[in-house]
Amino acid sequence: MNATNNSGPRRIRVLSDGRPGHENQSVGLALALARRTGAAHEVVKMDPRAPVWRRMRQAAAIASGDERPDIVISAGHRTHLPLWWAARRLAARSVVIMKPSLPAACFDLVLMPRHDAPDGAADTARRVLTRGALNRVSEALPEKEARGLVLIGGPSKHHGWDAAALGPMIAQAVAMRPDLEWTVADSRRTPEVFLRSLALPAGARAGKVPHQETGPGWLAGELARAAVVWVTEDSVSMVHEALTAGAATGVLPVPAADGGDGGRPARAVRGLIAAGLAAEFPRAPDVPAERFHEAGRCADLILARWFASAFSR
């Protein structure tokens, strides 16, 4: 669909494959569009194990009397064919996040992380390179408090683990800012004994929060308040969320798996460090000079390209 809708989007549909990271990116973009336009958004949760024809039918379904979406958004390979089909059936714009498994020509817009693009690639009419993962963090943030946050990941496909090296780095990061009240939190990937045995500087105003004690909105609230956030290198999405929340963001290095280079996640983090948006330990992080909000930037671009007349008045 190539015609411009001058009235602005009224409804946005997100196709979810059930993976939280994929849904977080798609909903983050939908929310950014909704904040600018007042559009409603809906999430269609598809079973990734279901036959593709069933997912396609579900993606394009419209109940009697319901309004058709103007934009359909998805992330994840199992959503790509349903996204293509839904956009065709609904006469809607299609936005795919991350590198698609179908040709880019199947979609109206591809939001591709820069670290997934070929060297020297640039934005085109159909492709926009992003600086990593989109998320749900709002542009409107409360004033920062005198608080620091350490977010600990764990072994993954691309990263190994070195508890003996990481523990002292966390202690030193906390000691850099004794004026802050610190929270140190682990994740489901963190080896079970690590947080319990982690030694923090004597006299530091610091507490440990195991992931089992956090609720759905805990992280968003902590990121909104924290002035400084340190994140282990393997937790790429958390690095992006900390930056989006306006925190001075530092990266704690962890070894790559099997002697590799850390793959695409590590390249994404190195790109943020090279751009001066994040700091690598032991350098103390500063708040970036420019606001980092990729979901908002992409939402603005979509409105400028497809709904320009409605937002130029």
Q: H helices then E strands: how many in the chain?
A: 9, 12
Query: Residue 71's pLDDT band (boundaries 50, 70, 90)?
Result: very high
Average pLDDT over residues 108-113: 95
Same fold, 11-135+293-311 and 147-280: yes
Q: Model confidence over 43-63: pLDDT tens digits?
A: 999 998 999 999 999 999 997
CATH number of 11-135+293-311: 3.40.50.2000
| CATH class as words, domain 147-280 | alpha beta
Instruction: Look at residue 41 and give its three-state secondary structure.
Output: strand
Average pLDDT over residues 251-257: 93
Q: Model confidence over 115-166: pLDDT tens digits?
A: 787 777 788 889 999 988 899 999 988 999 999 999 999 999 889 999 999 9
Q: Where are the domains of the chain?
A: 11-135+293-311, 147-280
CA-based nearest residue to 295, from 249, 247, 251, 240: 240
Q: Burial-class residue 306 by CB neighbours within 10 Å (0-12, 13-18, 19+).
A: buried
In this predicted structure, the answer to whether residue 240 has a pLDDT above a threshold of 80 is: yes
Alpha carbon distance 37, 6 (integer Å): 12
Q: Model confidence over 194-210: pLDDT tens digits?
A: 999 999 999 999 999 99
| Cis status of the peptide bond prior to 282, with omega within 30 of 0 | yes
Query: Residue 300's pLDDT band (boundaries 50, 70, 90)?
Result: very high
